[in-house]
Amino acid sequence: MVFFNFKKNFIKREYYSKNLFFFNFFLIFVFFTSNACVGKTSEQLINESIAKYPGQCPCPYSIMTNGKKCGKRSAYSKPGGYEPLCYESDLIGKKDKRLNTSRLINNIRIIDGDTIHIDKIKYRLHGIDAPEMKQICEINKKNYNCGVKSRDFLNSLIGSKFVRCEQKDVDRYKRVVAECFVGNTNINKELVRNGWALAYKDYSSDYILDEKFASENRLGIWEGKFIHPKKWRKLNR
């Protein structure tokens, strides 16, 4: 009986030892494979995704054999099937440990009230039109630089926070037209609702009610006199 129990315990220990060995091996494998991706930039992740696509048109900006851009013929533009990463906005907002998010935050550059750069990607905020940087508005018969004020307000919204952008389109200047968020705050909406941008009705009706709110409460540029940024650009070309 003693010999039987000894043999039984020996076999049990041997079984657990083998399983522990394979479990440790699995953990080591996972550690090294996951860390192989750590530190990759968004550009590297996008390039890897594009390289995996078997055709010639993974992204709207990819070039076909005839020298033209793929545009809406790309896999990115078609629902279902392959879903390649084409823009940095495809990565922003995903809880992906492979992406060095602190690098993205440190590389946010605010150009004006409706344009930001994240890393090397240019974003034009969808559905809004902010005063231009050199545009002058008026409050109580005094001039002030409303373009700078608009940019400063956008800067206060973002601060050092993480920005997530959802692409809507790509404009003729190759900027990603996007709706951007800080947490649950819609940056586009806040700019219009606080009077530091107008609803760009030529392209969207998304923020018309927010513009009405700013106008009725005399917020931002609505506190004084101004001309529409679109008209200002035409007069100052």
Residues belonging to the active site: 124, 132, 175
* Nearest-angstrom CA–CA distance, 29 and 23: 10
First to last CA, the chain: 100
Cα 226 to Cα 136: distance, rounded to the nearest angstrom: 8
The rounded distance, in Å, linking the Cα atoms of 46 and 50 is 6
Q: For 29, list phi and psi in degrees, rounded to 5.
A: -60, -45
Please say whether the beta carbons of 85 and 58 come within 8 A. no
φ, ψ for residue 106, nearest 5 deg: -70, -15
CA distance 234 to 231: 5
Taking alpha carbons only, the member of 27, 78, 89, 24 closest to residue 53 is 78
The enclosing H or E element of 117 equals strand 115-118
Residue-wise burial string across 188-220, b where 16 or more C-beta atoms lie within 10 A, e elsewhere: bbbbbbbbbbbbbeeebebbeebbebbeeeeeb
